[in-house]
Chain A
Amino acid sequence: MFDTLGKLVDRIGDYLIVENPKNGNGKGSLSMPGWGALKVEFHKLLKLAQSKNKHLIFVAHEREERDGEIRIVRPDVSGSSGKDLVKDLDFLGYMEMRGNKRTISFSPCEKYYAKNSLRLPPVIDVPDTAEKGNTFIRDVIIRATLERLNQDAAEARRYEELLAELAAQIDAAASPVELDEALRSVQGAEAIWDSQRVAKHRLQDRARALNISYDRAAGRFVAAAAAAE
């Protein structure tokens, strides 16, 4: 866990300047090449954690900005590095007090951007660690992450199997009647992600290759010669 992300970025910056003075601008800050080196160094850190099967948590203070009447908060990180770093994070949550409750939200809103790739509830109460033990991140975030990864992997397998099955029928179709049957199979099949769209595109390509067109009025495929009559 890094507390705070802003300090981490500053420390990496200091290290990069010591390592190569060209990374500095002579005033203690990073030069343009230095910011590029910082991005590389941060990626190295993420990869290192990944290779050791570790989860990384970055805590950041907020920096307030205004867009007209709207108050927007963003992670307080030096220069433009914050937006480069946020890109690599799986989750981004905003923690605040609501009444006397500490909460975290992974749902983006007008006030802040957040990432909710787990589809967690919009606002989650953070328990008192003194009473409940310091297991919130593990119980709510990491466990849900692992479950989600397993679900996604299973979904990806079902998706590939479904597309392979539909593709086999589409590719074997050689007549308008068989294309009609393939279309019915596509329409009747389970929809996983973009499977319906992918299969319909394949069906269109197959029909085009066979010089067969789809008669919308009749709701069936017809040979090009018949369609022209």
Chain B
Amino acid sequence: MQSDADDIAIFLETLNRVERAPSEAVLAGRQFENDVFTYCDGRYEARGGKQSLYDECVVEAAEQVRGGLRQERLYREARIGGFDVLLYGRADVIRRGRIYNLKKSRSYEIGKYTGSIQHPLYMWAAGIDSFRYIVSDGRSLWFEDYHLDDPMREQMVGEVAAMLTSIFGSPVLREPYVAHWVAL
């Protein structure tokens, strides 16, 4: 399990733009995403046998996102907490009026992503007010749907403002942030 100290170390590495070797979880997520897109393109080779449940997850996820735009860049300039910021993200898929995010997770509970800043930020940046997480543990597939409303947007803006205030309030964080993330 990751400790707070680990989280801070990772955050500092991100602020310093240090390249990290992808974790096992990240690699599994990429594999799932790649399999879904491969299926959409008609090139997926079913694993079969004990992996047939995984195949079913891939097929069900692909049916959700087939025909959508992949890896779309999303950005929005905004003034938040007295800072001019560029909010940036990359959506796995945008299809018609919804953003889709593919997740591979060891476990899942209803509302797992409710507290995530990803969906409000992506929806606001893209100007699209519907977001679906497609989550698989390799045996089952679940959806988690969100729609952007004012309370959700206000909370996200507040979190971004709090994060920027924290960064600028801490020399340890401020220095790498200004060095690597502030546009002059």
Cα separation A80 to B96 with both chains bound (whole Å)? 31
Which of A17-25, A42-50, A134-142, A194-202 is the contact stretch? Answer: A194-202
Cα separation A193 to B130 with both chains bound (whole Å)? 10
Q: Mark B138-150, 1 if CB is under 8 A from A, else 0.
A: 0011111111011
**Most A C-beta atoms less than 10 A away, residue of B72, B109, B143:** B109
Contacts of B115 in A (CB 8 A): 110
A:137-158 near B, CB below 8 Å: 155-156
Given contacts A194-B96, A201-B69, contact A83 B147 (CB under 8 A): no
Instruction: Report yes or no: B149 in contact with A194, Cβ–Cβ below 8 A.
Output: no
User: B97 at the A/B interface (Cβ < 8 Å)?
Assistant: yes
Partner of A75, one of B110, B129, B149: B110
- Total chain A interface residues with beta-carbon distance under 8 A: 30
User: A116 at the A/B interface (Cβ < 8 Å)?
Assistant: yes
Cα separation A156 to B150 with both chains bound (whole Å)? 25
Instruction: Report yes or no: B145 in contact with A198, Cβ–Cβ below 8 A.
Output: no
Partner of A116, one of B108, B114, B143, B147: B147
**Most A C-beta atoms less than 10 A away, residue of B108, B110, B152:** B110
Instruction: Report yes or no: A115 in contact with B145, Cβ–Cβ below 8 A.
Output: yes
Instruction: Report yes or no: A193 in contact with B140, Cβ–Cβ below 8 A.
Output: no
Instruction: Report yes or no: A107 in contact with B114, Cβ–Cβ below 8 A.
Output: no
Instruction: Report yes or no: A74 in contact with B111, Cβ–Cβ below 8 A.
Output: yes
- In the complex, residue of chain A having the shortest beta-carbon distance to the beta carbon of B147: A116
User: B59 at the A/B interface (Cβ < 8 Å)?
Assistant: no
Cα separation A168 to B150 with both chains bound (whole Å)? 38
Instruction: Report yes or no: A197 in contact with B110, Cβ–Cβ below 8 A.
Output: no
Partner of B94, one of A108, A116, A197: A197
User: B42 at the A/B interface (Cβ < 8 Å)?
Assistant: no
Instruction: Report yes or no: A109 in contact with B114, Cβ–Cβ below 8 A.
Output: yes
- Chain A positions near chain B (C-beta within 8 angstroms): 65, 72, 74-75, 80, 82-84, 86-87, 107-110, 112-113, 115-117, 119, 122, 155-156, 159, 191, 193-194, 197-198, 201
A-B contact pairs, 11 of them (CB 8 A): A74-B110, A83-B108, A83-B110, A86-B142, A87-B142, A107-B151, A107-B152, A108-B114, A112-B114, A194-B97, A194-B128
